[in-house]
Structure 1
Amino acid sequence: MRGRTVVVTGGTRGVGAGIAQAFAQAGARVLACARRPPEQPLDGVEFAPLDLRDPPAVRAFFAALPRLDALVNNAGGTPYRRLTDADAERHARVVELNLVTPLTASLAAYDHLRRARGSVVMIGSVSGGRPSPGSAAYGAAKAGLANLAASMAVEWAPEVRVNTLVVGMVRTELSHLHYGGPDGLAAVSRTVPLGRLATPSDVGAAAVFLASDAAAYISGASLLVHGGGERPAFLDAGTVNKEDRKEDGREDGKEDRRQGGLG
């Protein structure tokens, strides 16, 4: 990534900071956009104040850049909020932050990216592909973001590549708010096949790959960064144990899965 310029929205903390630092370590000039600066300066990362929900300011910011090779749409998030706990306007703001602002930034960056034959990396979420009680508006926005990226990849080809990172649970400085203290984090980590939550640098490495020449023929893709996903609940809910499966010849895929009601 040496000699290239990368913008990371929401790149001042958590996953965004990990992404920004990964690009800086790969040799890029990195600008992290957010409303507030990072609490501690990030090595090799420049801070650019920007409210992504202000379209004129977003357009002015990108127009002032001398060049741009990659845009990482990371800014987003949501509090835990059940649908009936807030009015539609508050849920709409979650959709705006997680879906509309990536569209706004991508359109503002398009001319730069087309000239550079660059790329867009959307930071999606596993919440966009499964029910998300307590964060339904967020999940809906992330589902829309993946579809938006796939459509962009077709419309903007061959000059601009567009891909999505579908991110699972990540351990950040705010993880305790979602999962509790050390015991909660350990318990949640055990639900992940790889045995741990992702780190921001894990997500950063994947973002650098998608923006680099190593991914020159990858566009319109959704790359899962979730440690293997989640163990299906029915595996632990059923009452047939492993020994019973062996005796009945139903272990290691020997049985006809359709007879057990599986697709």
Structure 2
Amino acid sequence: MTVSYDYAGKHVLVTGGTRGIGAGIARAFQAAGATVTICARTPPPANDSRPPHAAPQPPRAEPEEGSRPLRADPGGDPRPPRADPQGELPAPRFVRADVRVPEDVERLISGFERLDVVVNNAGGSPPAPLAGTSPRLHAKVIELNLTAPLLVAQRAYPLLAAVGGAVVMIGSAGGARPSPGTAAYGAAKAGLHHLARCLAAEWAPHVRVNTVVVGLAATPDAAAHYGGRDVDASAIPAGRPATPEDVAAACLWLAAPGYVTGAEVRVDGGGEVPAWHLLTTTPP
């Protein structure tokens, strides 16, 4: 069975939408007919999966085709989308913005006359063990993964309420189980899950707010997040990590008009195989 969505005439904002999961989400909404705006601190890279100035990355899980970075209209001019020379999808509007900064969020949202969907995808963290990591880094991780989605949702609320829109938070399995080595990130994502439930209750019935809880995922930045190692598919019951397309499919469903709000949809392939299972199945 194939499920299709019609987002023609809808305006969608994807934060952190230039690469990885965010790019996959933006592509999915574009393919469904939406006018898509993406934002990040730097424009999408032209040909590589990382900016030209980025340091070389360790081996990583190979992303599927749809996870390649988006090409976007430079400068964020509010003009009709143009054809993408690499395919049939129009190029999204790009707005340079740091969603941790209230002034940037104000400038970003004020550029919309209509806004139907906000996907709060911007987030992440380098490996940051609690011992020996500066308080400033921990604060920045919490700002990006918790405070920034709150600021964006808060500022977007009047536009979303006017059309009965939706917010989709991109959460993490790290916020639902211990996250050693990235404690601040896990705590921030746990807070994000709770924030979504609070906003769903506070803003109903005008705006729906849901969370996609992403498990182990294959993206260009996955290896850096997982300590320089590839994602081990044997740790996932489904036999493979999530792709940006898997996450995007959940976003399309949650953003479509409906009854569901305050929900957490797990896109984790059945979770992660616990260590005790390996102990009981490995021969002595």
Distance 2:181 2:239 in 1: 25
Structure 2 residue aligned with 1:126: 173
Distance 2:147 2:131 in 1: 23
**How far apart, CA to CA, are the structure 1 residues paired with 2:160 and 2:239?**
38
Partner of 1:224: 266
Q: Which moved more, 1:162-171 or 1:41-50?
A: 41-50
Aligned to 2:15: 9
Runs of 4+ in 1 over 4 A off after TM superposition: 178-181
Gaps of at least 5 residues in structure 1 are 242-263
Conservation of the 8 A alpha-carbon contact between 2:99 and 2:152: yes
1:73-92 aligned at under 5 Å gives the runs 73-92=120-139
The separation in 2 between residues aligned to 1:154 and 1:18, in whole angstroms, is 29
Q: How many residue pairs get matched?
A: 236
**Which residue type is aligned with residue 130 of structure 2?**
L
Q: CA deviation at 1:185?
A: 3.5
Deviations 1:178-225 (A, max 9, x none): 4588xx647x01111111111111111111111013xx0100000000
Letter in 1 for 2:252: V
The one-letter code of the counterpart of 1:207 is: C
Q: With structure 2 as the length reference, what TM-score do the two structures score? A: 0.79
> CA contact under 8 A between 2:240 and 2:269: conserved in structure 1?
yes
- State the percentage of identical aligned residues: 50
Aligned to 1:209: 253
Say which of 16, 36, 56 aligns to 2:42. 36
Give CA-to-partner distance per residue, 1:33-86, whole Å, 9 cap, x none: 111111131543221111112202211321231100000000010000100121
Residue 108 of structure 1: aligned partner? 155
Structure 1 residues 33 and 240, CA, compared in 2 at 3 Å: closer, same or farther?
closer
Pick the structure with greater CA Rg: 1
**1:137 is the counterpart of 2:137:** no
Pair 1:47-2:94 in alignment: yes
Instruction: Tell me how far apart the structure 2 counterparts of residues 178 and 24 of structure 1 sit (CA, whole Å).
Output: 28
In the TM superposition, residue 88 of structure 1 has moved relative to its aligned partner by 1.8
- Does residue 24 of structure 1 match 2:66? no
Q: Name structure 2 gaps, 5 residues minimum.
A: 1-6, 47-70, 73-88
- The higher relative CO (CA closer than 8 Å, separation ≥ 6) is in 2
Q: TM-score, normalised to structure 1's length?
A: 0.85
Match of 1:195 among 239, 257, 273: 239
Deviations 1:128-148 (A, max 9, x none): 011101100000000000000
Partner AA of 1:233 in structure 2:
A
Give the stretch that moved more between structures: 34-43 or 77-86.
34-43
Of Structure 1 and Structure 2, the greater helix share is in 1
Q: SS in structure 1 opposite 2:260? A: coil
